[in-house]
Structure 1
Amino acid sequence: MKDSSYRENKNKKPEKEKTLIQELISTLLYIIVITSIFLCIRLYIIAPVSVEGASMEPTLQDGDHLILNKVSDVDRFDVIVFPAPEEDGKQFIKRVIGLPGDEITFQDQTLYINGETIEEDYVDLSKVSDSDLQSLNSDFNLSSLEGVEQVPEDSYFVLGDNRVNSKDSRSFGFISRNNVTGKTSLRIWPLDRLGFIDKSND
């Protein structure tokens, strides 16, 4: 009886070791799968992004944290993220004003798209002096800026909501559709302003 009991206990040890190894492998595979899914989501679908600077005030504030959607189509007045022209490693956040084929004119502090007056509720320059408005937010059209009448195919014309403190298409020109990282409409931080970013002119 002793010999038989000894043989049974001896046979159980390798089985326990095998079960432990199987559990470790299973856990490792689970971690790999979850990590891969997370990386794919971040790379191809959504990702966090933070705001630096004041170019999108009052809509977005310095330090705001947003969720970037990488798969949705871009429409007029969407807020998009793209690599900063001529500034390696930096991202810009701006609002799409002109789509391919649009004619853009800004005159007497009023925006016109295809001849239609646009009420820009997202812009607040009430505290800016008249002299600064004239010098920092002066009249323009696409012809004076880029020598063309319309936004080119597969391109966007973008502006910051803070027109007197924004480096945008007025200085660096059109943004290629292929260079758009994604668009954002959801703020997740700070908590007291958690929610969707208002999009005017829908």
Structure 2
Amino acid sequence: MLKEIKEWLIAIAVAVVLILIIRQFLFVSFTVDGLSMDPTFEDGDKVVVNKFIDNFTDYETGDVIVFNSEKGPAYVKRVIGTPGDTVSMEDKQVYVNGEPLNEDYVTHTEDSYMDNFTLEELGVEEETIPEGTLLVLGDNRPVSRDSRDFGLVDQSEVIGEVQLRFWPLNEISINFD
């Protein structure tokens, strides 16, 4: 009986250590707060964020990331501009390096705040997005607090890339482009 209890305690300890390692270095769950990524994510959706991918690849336009914010809890947003890109918005159309960006995931409405912008209007002193920063926007542009509001995101603040929505169960998905 004592041997069996010892085996169970060891198994539980190993499981706890594995969970801690996975959460610290590989994956973490995150709950979407608000409507800024609607229709891609709704308020209360639960997602898995890949923290490990940051070590092997650069973020690309279209990636959905979670990052820490000085203005409160972490945000989930879509990467629109990466280092070296020029980005602007004219008449609700985003242009990256002079080319219109196809954004089937965006919520379009008549009244969206700050529809037009340039990098200069966002406070970027260079002609392109500087190294180590990203320009992010929410998919639900009329209500999203994003780079139009708080500027570029420092890549050191990025927690990771959203890889999986696991809640609600009837909307489990892995592709957010």
TM-score, normalization by structure 1: 0.80
In structure 2, the residue matched to 1:141 is 118
Query: Matched residue pairs, number?
Result: 172
Question: Where do residues 25-104 of structure 1 align in structure 2 (5 Å cutoff)?
Answer: 25-72=6-53, 73=57, 74-87=59-72, 90-104=73-87
* Amino acid corresponding to residue 21 of structure 2 in structure 1: C
* Amino acid corresponding to residue 137 of structure 2 in structure 1: L
Judging by fraction of residues, say which structure has more helix: 1
Deviation at 1:112, TM superposition (A): 0.6
Distance 1:183 1:95 in 2: 10
- Identity over aligned pairs, percent: 38
1:141-195 deviation line (CA, Å, top 9, x unaligned): 1012113311110111101011110111111111111110011031111122111
Greater radius of gyration (CA):
1
Structure 2: gaps spanning 5 or more residues: none
Contact in 2 for aligned 1:70/1:182 (Cα 8 Å):
yes
* Amino acid corresponding to residue 86 of structure 1 in structure 2: K
Contact in 2 for aligned 1:158/1:169 (Cα 8 Å):
yes
Distance 2:50 2:160 in 1: 5
Judging by fraction of residues, say which structure has more strand: 2
* Secondary structure, counterpart of 1:182 in structure 2: strand
Structure 1: gaps spanning 5 or more residues: 1-19
* Amino acid corresponding to residue 39 of structure 2 in structure 1: P
* Amino acid corresponding to residue 99 of structure 2 in structure 1: E
In structure 2, the residue matched to 1:154 is 132
Distance 1:156 1:189 in 2: 27
* Secondary structure, counterpart of 2:144 in structure 1: coil
Distance 2:130 2:164 in 1: 29
Contact in 2 for aligned 1:49/1:68 (Cα 8 Å):
yes
Deviation at 1:24, TM superposition (A): 3.1
